[in-house]
Amino acid sequence: MWIRINLRAKFYVLLALLVFITMAGGAVMVWYTFRMEKFLSSVIDEDVAAFQNAEALASALVNQKGFVSYYFIDGDPDWLNKLGKYRQIFREKFDKIRSKVEDAEEKQILDEIDKEYTVYIDIKDRVISLYNANANEKGGVLHKEARALFFKTLNLCEEYRKMHLARINQVRANAKSQAETIRMIAGASVFVVFVIGAFLAFFIMNHILGPVRRLLKKIDKKSGQLSEDEIISLSMGVHGLIQDVNHTRAELEKSREHLLQSEKLAMVGKLAAGMAHSIRNPFTSVKMRLFSLGRSLKLTETEKEDFDVISEEIRHIDAIVQNFLEFSRPPKLVMQEISPSVVVDMAIQLLEHRLKSYNMSVDIVREQMPPTIEADPEQLKEVLVNIVVNACESMDKGEGMIIVHEETISGGSSKSKAIIRISDNGPGIPDALKDKIFQPFFTTKEEGTGLGLSIAARIIQEHGGEIDIDGGAAEGAAFIISLPVKE
Amino acid sequence: MLTDKLTNRFEKKQAKSVKKEFTIIVADRNHHVREFLHRELASEGYIVRSAENYRQILRLAFYPDAISLLVLDPNLPDSDESETLEKLERLGGRIPIIIHTFQSDYNERRNILPGAAFVEKNGNSIEKLKHVIEEIAREKFQNLPY
């Protein structure tokens, strides 16, 4: 379940949980303070008031003591007035307490106090009457009895006071117990918040900051920009990536346009190749008939010149068509293991007559037979013939020289290569043309098709090799063919 | 000297009579090429039949006349080329075949008929074709003079 939740949701869940726990803890504390306040004001205040009333009651009782004795001694009625006043205070206090009491135990004590006090008052009044009637002896005995009742009532008042004191202590103990519970809850809340906080921190580190840092390291490696602030670095990195994406998109657009253009060109090429293929047969028919005519016609010199030009131009058109077809529909290579030297010899042998007609000599420099390569001998021969014929055609009148140099280059970790270098002592290839010379339809010859070297380059590429030009105009031209040696 | 001349004339006559027993099918999609080859080979004394597609080749190949040679440009307009080529390959065991087509086409389909000879089609290929046909005919009729 947790794994299936996405990163943002996980983060929000943890954060919400943390906030909830913190707020819940705070709310419990606030609730507790209110509860305590209410509790103290309602319970403790009542008990304290009752306790104070109980003390006042006892005090009002104690204050009644001695007035009758003083009256007996000096007969001053003012003592009796004061006694009456304190009796009234006691009664008022007592009535006040009685009106608020609902507890049965309290009521019982108060009933006893009331009962004993009433008896005590009654006896005390009788004592005063006896003293007024000068029955001092009898009054003294009764006074003694009243004193015993006084102390009994006072003890009851004291018991009533202690009962309230015990209740206050009980409330205090309860409050202390509740405070401990709250402390436990608060402590547990702190622990839970700590655990969730730690988990959130771990989560943020592991799922956000960690990946951000790793991402930054990658971005930093790429861009070389470093910043102490990860977010700034990330922002810079993302900005760079967006730029890269925009650049790539622009490149992609260009590529797409190029692709469309290439597809169009390929389609045009296909049509042209189809057309070339179609015209070849009737064209050959024309050539056959010309050949037939050439065998039997007896022409004047002018007519013969015209006939030769027609034949020559038709041959030229045929060469263009043939080259174009070969370029647009390259034949499949028929690979076999063969030494490049064998192919060189085949090509030179094939061109023997043509080389003589151009007054060209060929020198093959072969220190040792190069190792075998994987090649189509016919295709490779075509490449060599093409280069040698180009060399012949580029030569000025006079003797020309072609050097074919064969060697093997050890590749070390890569594949060894067989190198065929064909150089001539002709006018060479100007630097400005070196880049164009392998392009299709590029030619410097009046009757060239411009496809010979591009076909040669393609054949070499299909063999996994390379063809290059070396040498400037002063040194003649040199073509370097490198082909991978069969391991 | 006179004996030599008479011998030569006799041999030529003999060769001509032999060639009349040598029937060649010329198959090419272009009728002008077919007609040219027909004319040239007929002038050499061969019996020549023309075919413009594979279907006609097969029909002629099983003609009551014994067919001696097939000169074929495989680029014929039939749609069932591969099936016909299989039949021709079987026929090739019996009748020699010369592939007379463009070098580039032949390069693409070198294994089309493995036992067949190849003559590149171009303006003056008729001379080479005649030469190869004569070689084949000589092999067939051991006594055919040069």
**pLDDT tens, residue by residue, A361-375:** 999 998 778 888 999
Distance CA A324, CA B121 (A): 17
pLDDT exceeds 80 at position A43: no
Strands B23-27 and B69-72: parallel
- Nearest CB partner across the interface for B33, out of A285, A291, A334: A285
Cβ pair A322:B108 closer than 8 A? no
Q: Which of B28, B29, B31, B32 to mutate to test the interface with A (most CBs of A within 10 A)?
A: B32
Measured between CB atoms, does B130 come within 8 Å of chain A?
no
On whether the CB atoms of residues B69 and B87 are closer than 8 A, the answer is no
Closest CA to A343 of A393, A388, A386, A379: A379
A331–chain B nearest CA distance, Å? 5
Amino acid at A68: V
Closest Cα partner for A478 from A380, A383, A387, A360?
A: A387
**Which residues have a Cβ under 8 Å from the Cβ of B24 and sit 6 or more positions away?**
B41, B46, B47, B48, B49, B67, B68, B69, B70, B71, B133
CB A409 within 8 A of CB A417: yes
pLDDT band at A395 (very low <50, low <70, confident <90, very high): confident
Decide if pLDDT at A473 tops 50: no
Q: Least CA distance to B34: which residue of chain A?
A: A285
Cross-chain Cβ contact A334/B108 below 8 Å: no
> Angle, nearest 10°, between helix axes A340-350 and A377-394?
50
Q: Which residues pair with A421 in a beta bridge?
A: A405, A480
Specify the pLDDT at position B27. Answer: 93
Candidates A277, A285, A289, A381, partner chain B, best to mutate (most B CBs within 10 A): A285
- Residue A362: count other Cβ atoms within 10 Å of its Cβ: 19
Highest-scoring range by mean pLDDT, A75-89, A257-271, B55-69: A75-89
What was the pLDDT predicted at A402? 92
What confidence category does residue A54 fall into, taking pLDDT thresholds of 50, 70 and 90? confident
Specify the pLDDT at position A385. Answer: 92
Write out the E strands in A271-399. Answer: 336-338, 360-366, 373-375
Give the SS3 label for residue A337. Answer: strand
Looking at beta carbons, which residues of chain A come within 8 Å of B107? Answer: 331, 378
Q: What is the average pLDDT score of chain A?
A: 83
Distance between A450 CA and the closest CA of chain B, angstroms:
18
Q: Considering only residues A160 and A46, tell me which one the structure prediction assigns the higher pLDDT.
A: A160
Bridge partners of residue A54, in order along the sequence: none
Asked whether the beta carbons of residue B123 and residue A287 sit closer than 8 angstroms, the reply is yes
Nearest CA in chain A to B122: A284
Q: Provide the β-strand partners of residue B48.
A: B24
Nearest CA distance, B108 vs chain A (angstrom): 5
Quick one: average pLDDT of B121-143? 85
pLDDT at B58: 83
**Is residue A349 helix, strand or coil?**
helix
Instruction: Specify the pLDDT at position A196.
Output: 81
Q: What's the whole-model pTM score?
A: 0.47
Q: Is the pLDDT of residue A81 over 50?
A: yes
Closest residue to B123, CB basis, from A288, A332, A378: A288
What band does B47 get if pLDDT is binned at 50, 70 and 90? Answer: very high
CB B76 within 8 A of CB B52: yes
Q: Does B29 touch chain A (CB under 8 A)?
A: yes
The complex's ipTM works out to 0.77
Q: Which residues of A touch B28 (CB under 8 A)?
A: 281
Q: How confident is the model at residue B146 (pLDDT cuts 50, 70, 90)?
A: very low
| Residues near A30 by beta carbon (within 8 Å), at least 6 away in sequence | none
The winner for highest mean pLDDT among A86-90, A196-200, B140-144 is: A86-90
Residues of A with CB under 8 A from a CB of B: 280-282, 284-285, 287-292, 314-315, 318, 322, 325-326, 329, 331-332, 334, 378
Residue A8 has a pLDDT of: 72
Sketch out chain B's domains with CATH numbers: 23-140 (3.40.50.2300)
* Residue in A with minimal Cα distance to B76: A281
Which residue from B minimizes the CA distance to A328? B104
Q: How many CB pairs under 8 A join A and B?
A: 53
Q: A323 vs A306, which has greater pLDDT? A: A306
Amino acid at A54: A
- Burial (CB < 10 A; 0-12, 13-18, 19+), residue A344, is buried
pLDDT band at B42 (very low <50, low <70, confident <90, very high): very high
**Residue ranges in A204-300 assigned as alpha helix (H):** 210-223, 230-296
Domains and CATH numbers, chain A: 7-206 (1.20.1440.210), 249-329 (1.10.287), 333-484 (3.30.565.10)
CA closest to A319 among chain B residues:
B122
- Return the pLDDT at A1: 65
State the pLDDT at residue A342: 92
φ/ψ (deg, to 5) at A308: -65, -40
Cβ distance B71 to B105 under 8 Å? no
B123 at A interface, C-beta within 8 A = yes
What percent of chain A has a predicted confidence (pLDDT) above 90? 12
Stretch A107-132: mean pLDDT, rounded?
A: 88
**HEC profile of chain B:** CHHHHHHHHHHHHHHHHHHCCCEEEEECCCHHHHHHHHHHHHHCCCEEEEECCHHHHHHHHCCCCCCCEEEECCCCCCCCHHHHHHHHHHHHCCCCEEEEECHHHHHHCCCCCCCCEEEECCCCHHHHHHHHHHHHHHHHCCCCCC
Q: What would you report as the CA-atom Rg of chain B, rounded to the nearest whole angstrom?
A: 16
Write the Ramachandran bin of A359: left for phi over 0, alpha for psi from -120 to 50, otherwise beta: left
Asked if B30 reaches chain A (Cβ–Cβ under 8 Å), the answer is yes
User: Span A13-17, mean pLDDT?
Assistant: 80
Q: What is the mean pLDDT of residues A126-141?
A: 85
At residue B16, does pLDDT exceed 80? no
A294 pLDDT above the threshold of 90? no
pLDDT (mean) for A464-485: 82
Contact status of B86 with chain A (Cβ, < 8 Å): no
Which H or E element spans position A481? strand A478-484
Instruction: With cut-offs at 50, 70 and 90, classify the pLDDT of residue B13.
Output: low
Model confidence at A169: pLDDT above 80: yes
What is the rounded average pLDDT of the residues A316-335?
79
More confident residue, A456 or A15: A456
Helix axes A78-100, A67-74, angle to 10 degrees: 170
Residue A415 has pLDDT above 70, yes or no: yes
SS percent in chain A: helix, strand, coil, step 5: 70, 10, 20
Cβ separation of A284 and B33 shorter than 8 Å?
yes
Tokens 């058109």 sit on residue: A317
**Residue B12 confidence (pLDDT):** 59
Per-residue confidence band for B80, with pLDDT thresholds at 50, 70 and 90 = low
Distance, first Cα to last Cα, chain A: 57
Q: Which of B129, B78, B132 is nearest to B101 (CA)?
A: B129
Show Cβ contacts of residue A321 under 8 Å, excluding neighbours closer than 6 positions: A276, A279, A280, A283
CA distance, residue A221 to nearest chain B CA (Å): 52
